[in-house]
Amino acid sequence: MNNVEISSRDLNVLWHPCTQMKDHETIPLTPVSKAYGVYLEDFEGDTFIDAISSWWVNLFGHCNPYINQKIKEQLETLEHVILAGFTHEGIVRLSERLVALSPEGLTRCFYADNGSSAIEVALKMSYHSHKNQGKEKGLFVSLSESYHGETLGALSVGDVALYKETYEPLLIRSIQTPSPINQSVEAALDAAKSFESLLQEKGDEIAALIVEPLVQGAGGMRMYHPIFLSEAKRLCEEYGVHFIADEILVGFGRTGSMFACEQAGITPDFLVLSKGLTGGYLPLSVVLTNESVYGSFYCDYNPIRSFLHSHSYTGNALACAAANATLDIFESENVIENNRKTIALIAEELKRFEPFPNVKEVRQCGMIAAIELQGYDPHERVGVKIHQLCLTQGVLIRPLGSVVYVMTPYVITPDELRKVFDAIEFSLQRI
């Protein structure tokens, strides 16, 4: 088996995600035969540093020996069981740990099996909880440039035109308030003011505000100051609006703290987690909420007041084993503390891009770095060119339009990190 053979068989039968398949007439696929640590290896023995953590999911490297071991152990005892009326040890332990780790007041875990589905759960739960308390609130607010997934409900509260525009007639009611324009305190306070005006106008109709705390990922790695979160949370409380924190991307240490909400000292009404939850191994997601929301559904049997939502693979035992193993590593290896060294190294590496004439801004939030380019027409598809140039340097980078970002697994070494930024520099000199 070789790269060419796998690619041609693939292109006969597959339809890839987020891809114009005709592009593959000119852009080759990269078949991966195996992966270890930060490396992906193709069928000809070429390796690539996975500098985007395989779409932001991987935390402790590919084929991490400890996580592998824990999944194998789980496989010998229980692979999956229905979660309605049944339970298992792994999910109980995982839920206890998530409740203990997450901001004070989040006490209940509801599971789904991917990020978008968990967003649907949070939106439905918020709407339904208000309804159970006699309030009809059918409008959601999110930030401009936000991204919350691609199922129809999640897409409705997102604001990335590229993914959303076509489906506009199919979407649920949502409205966008401006996101902070940069990482300054002033920008955060300005955005909070705009949100307040919206609440004054439409507060009665609004079920929830949904935000990506500190970093808006797919919208272009836009970053903002934590004071926006504390202000927005305060306003939500004042107007009886739920606060949904979509930490699918930023959770589990990406912004430098275990959860991004910690940096604002807030407890959201809903905390949505996925991606890093299983260390990047298996699909799993969870919505944590408080006793007040939980209590609004808790009553003698009444189908209208119950949350009758489920997914076939809810709470999969193998995924829970991967999640518990991931949390074991956080505990035993003091990850959040150790990442500070990598965060400082990233800041050092970023400096070299500031003088580049084609660089508009460099920014960083914890383990996430972004280099925003300027002067390119969208039709040039500069991101695609950078992606291909970096592959020639043995590094996987996948820019969002003209925003080049780095979000590596936490196990990357200083030498490997330098190689990633060298590859970006190499590509920026050649586009």
Ligand X SMILES: *Cc1c(COP(=O)(O)O)cnc(C)c1O
The binding site for ligand X (CB under 6 A) comprises: 114-116, 119, 147-149, 212, 217-218, 246, 248-249, 274
Which residue's CB is nearer to ligand X, number 116 or number 427? 116
CB of 47 to ligand X, least distance (A): 26
CB of 315 to ligand X, least distance (A): 16
Which residue's CB is nearer to ligand X, number 203 or number 283? 283
Which residue's CB is nearer to ligand X, number 52 or number 241? 52
Residue nearest to ligand X (CB): 115
Residues 87 and 389: their CA atoms lie apart, in Å, by 49
CB of 357 to ligand X, least distance (A): 31
Cα dist from 14 to 7, 22, 24, 28, 138, whole Å:
10, 12, 12, 14, 38
Which class for 386: exposed (0-12), middle (13-18), buried (19 or more C-beta within 10 A)? buried
Beta strands in 258-365, from DSSP E residues, in sequence order = 270-273, 285-289, 359-365
Give 267-293 as a DSSP string.
--SEEEE-GGGGTTSS--EEEEE-HHH
Nearest alpha carbon to residue 212 among 203, 204, 221: 221
CA dihedral 375, 380, 384, 387 (to 10 degrees): -40
CB of 287 to ligand X, least distance (A): 12
Which residue's CB is nearer to ligand X, number 203 or number 242? 242
Return the SS3 of 209: strand
Cα dist from 339 to 290, 295, 330, 334, 336, whole Å:
30, 38, 11, 9, 5
CB of 120 to ligand X, least distance (A): 10
Return the SS3 of 176: strand
CB of 283 to ligand X, least distance (A): 7
Which residue's CB is nearer to ligand X, number 156 or number 427? 156
Which residue's CB is nearer to ligand X, number 203 or number 226? 226
DSSP state of 86: -
CB of 234 to ligand X, least distance (A): 23
Q: Which residues contact 326 (CB under 8 A, 6 or more apart)?
A: 59, 60, 67, 252, 276, 277, 278, 279, 281
CB of 50 to ligand X, least distance (A): 16
Nearest alpha carbon to residue 425 among 391, 367, 386, 388: 386
CB of 143 to ligand X, least distance (A): 11
Which residue's CB is nearer to ligand X, number 64 or number 116? 116
Q: Are 248 and 284 in contact (CB under 8 A)?
A: no
Residues 280 and 273: their CA atoms lie apart, in Å, by 12
Which residue's CB is nearer to ligand X, number 246 or number 349? 246
Which residue's CB is nearer to ligand X, number 221 or number 423? 221
